[in-house]
Structure 1
Amino acid sequence: MAALTPLAISTIALLAERPMHPYEMLQLLIERRDDRLLKVRAGSLYHTIERLERDQLVEAVGTERSGNRPERTTYAMTDAGRDALRSAVTDLLRTPVNEYPRFPFALSEAHNLPADEVITLLAERRDALAADEAELESVIVRAHERGVHEAYWFVADYLLTVHRAELAWIDRLLDRLRTKDLAWPHPQ
């Protein structure tokens, strides 16, 4: 069996809560804003469920039809799925992995652009991060207000902390670029 993808882990984790059908899983992933953490697409989710079922990590436990809607198959996690979920989360928490993020790579190649263009692009990124920061703050406030146990949403606090660190770093870099404290190799 291949290593579980993030979507496979999330799928099994949803089924740890209760049996459900793929459409319900998709709606929960979007509602819970898990699309900030992994790619959430209906086609990918259905393919993931097929693979998990083939690997006997989930199993179909029923089919229902409501009105003119197509049949919906409900899935449940198997004991092997519970073990695989535990193993995957354990490995992800324990072991640092170089994930090859795009932004550091872009920074390493920014010298290929004129400084004024880099300033503009970084300012746009900064604005987008600031908007994300406000949304993350809102998620945390709503979770507090709804009494959601922190273990279910502390990832939002992590993301907020990372956003704030990146914002502070970008602000310092923008200041250095604007004041010419950071010499730029590319001609204007």
Structure 2
Amino acid sequence: MPSPLTPADLVVLALLAERPMHGYELNQELERREAQDWAAISRPQVYYSLKKLAQGGEILRAQDAGEGSGPERVVYRVSAAGRRGLMAALGEERWAEQRPPSPFITWLALSGHAAPADRARVLARRRSYLEQELAKERRTLAAIRSEIGPMTEVGALMVDLTIRQWEVELAWLDEVAARLG
């Protein structure tokens, strides 16, 4: 029985469903799309997923890049089974029913044990971090809106949600600072 598809596997499958690519190209595309902001997938995971998906028949070799190019240059494409697996996994309701804990919320839950000066310093650092990220995401949103492509609208919606969440969190931090002093 094949092992279930992980989120990293699904990211790889989705990118290959857009067009055939080799591992190095997949990693470049993930970097271009700033995948670290929306998926937990590393460079080694891309190659692990490629191997797993090839062994499971979800992807097929489209072509080799040439002699001596190494396994990272084998071009893969999604098979019919891979498309079915991707669609089935994305149709699962579990995607809408998870609430992963934020490291900051974990810190907040434990912050009663921190020295008041440390608590104030971490809260100030969170505010600074959010302000920096908010500025970055606003630039990202402007860049996305200037692009044309099948995933442009989805990307814009994702970044817009992040911006809205961080704006709310920044306002909430004022209340946290006031109440926890």
Question: Structure 1 residue 65: deviation in Å?
Answer: 2.9
Structure 2, gaps ≥5 residues long: none
Deviation per residue, 1:117-155 (Å, 9 max, x gap):
111101101111111111111111111123453124311
Counterparts in 2 of 1:145 and 1:23: CA distance versus 1, 3 Å: same
Whether 1:38 and 2:43 are equivalent positions in the alignment is no
> Which of 153, 176, 179 is the equivalent residue of 1:176?
179
Structure 1, gaps ≥5 residues long: 179-188
8 Å CA contact 1:30, 1:40 repeated in 2: no
8 Å CA contact 2:144, 2:155 repeated in 1: no
Query: Which shifted more, 90-99 or 123-132?
Result: 90-99
Whether 1:50 and 2:51 are equivalent positions in the alignment is yes
Counterparts of 1:79 and 1:167, CA distance in 2: 45
Counterparts in 2 of 1:115 and 1:127: CA distance versus 1, 3 Å: same
Aligned with 2:77: secondary structure?
strand
TM-score by structure 2 length?
0.87
Counterparts in 2 of 1:93 and 1:152: CA distance versus 1, 3 Å: farther
Counterparts of 1:171 and 1:97, CA distance in 2: 27
TM-score by structure 1 length?
0.84
Q: Output the aligned Cα RMSD.
A: 2.0
Whether 1:160 and 2:163 are equivalent positions in the alignment is yes
Q: Which amino acid aligns with 1:60?
A: R
Aligned with 1:124: secondary structure?
helix
Q: Percentage identity across aligned positions?
A: 24
8 Å CA contact 1:26, 1:40 repeated in 2: no
Count of aligned positions: 177
Corresponding position of 1:15: 16
Counterparts of 2:97 and 2:109, CA distance in 1: 22
